[in-house]
Amino acid sequence: MSTDVVADVIVRPIRDTDAEALGRVHASCWHETYDHLISAAAFERLSPRRMGELWNHLAERGEEYAQFAAVVGGEIVGFVGAGPARDEEPPRARELQFIYLLDAYHGTGIGQQLFDAACGDEPVYLWVAEDNPRAHGFYRRNGFAADGAAQTVPFLGEEIHEVRLVR
């Protein structure tokens, strides 16, 4: 974990030309975040190319979505997305749908910059893996608390247990 501030970070809206780079970063972040929750066999089904194809769709979302990439030295190192709530009975109108940052940049303030770009100080909610203490700490510092809701979701052919946090 680094506590160095990265001076040359740029947080900017995601572009359709980012799909391939986002696919690589997304795949790396999933490995770094979920290796302790998902089997190595499941991760064998994950490819940066497939994740890039997913980003071709995500990059085309409308204006109601706030999606940003963090760029350091010309390379994407993290990304975030917030948009309309996806739950049937959401606790807030907006949902933080994803935020990922390469491990090498944890503790640098880039995650906070991404979060602020997508959510500001809006009321928002999110789902997070129950066994993800680093993320839980980040969300606590940003005013989130568990509301008691939980779900088990499919992930690469396996399952992850998630809890809902609300601000």
**Considering the domain boundaries, does residue 105 fall inside one?**
yes
Q: What is the pLDDT of residue 55?
A: 82
The CATH number linked to 150 is 3.40.630.30
**Considering the domain boundaries, does residue 1 fall inside one?**
no
Q: What is the pLDDT of residue 59?
A: 67
Q: Round to whole Å and give the CA distance between 119 and 96.
A: 7
Q: What is the pLDDT of residue 5?
A: 63
Four-residue CA torsion sign, 123, 128, 133, 134: negative
pLDDT for residue 62 is more than 90 = no
pLDDT for residue 136 is more than 50 = yes
Q: What is the pLDDT of residue 163?
A: 98
Number of domains in the chain: 1
| pTM across the whole model | 0.92
Helix (H, G, I), strand (E, B) or coil at 46: coil
* Angle in degrees, CA 94, 11, 130, rounded to 5: 50
**Considering the domain boundaries, does residue 33 fall inside one?**
yes
* Angle in degrees, CA 64, 65, 69, rounded to 5: 150
Q: Round to whole Å and give the CA distance between 81 and 146.
A: 20
Averaged pLDDT score across all residues of the chain:
92
Residue 128: what are its φ and ψ, rounded to 5°? -140, 145
Segments forming the whole domain that contains residue 102: 9-166
Q: What is the pLDDT of residue 4?
A: 60
pLDDT for residue 102 is more than 60 = yes
**Considering the domain boundaries, does residue 44 fall inside one?**
yes
Question: What mean pLDDT is predicted for residues 137-143?
Answer: 97
Q: Round to whole Å and give the CA distance between 85 and 69.
A: 21
Q: What is the pLDDT of residue 1?
A: 44
pLDDT top residue among 55 and 7: 55
Q: Round to whole Å and give the CA distance between 92 and 165.
A: 11
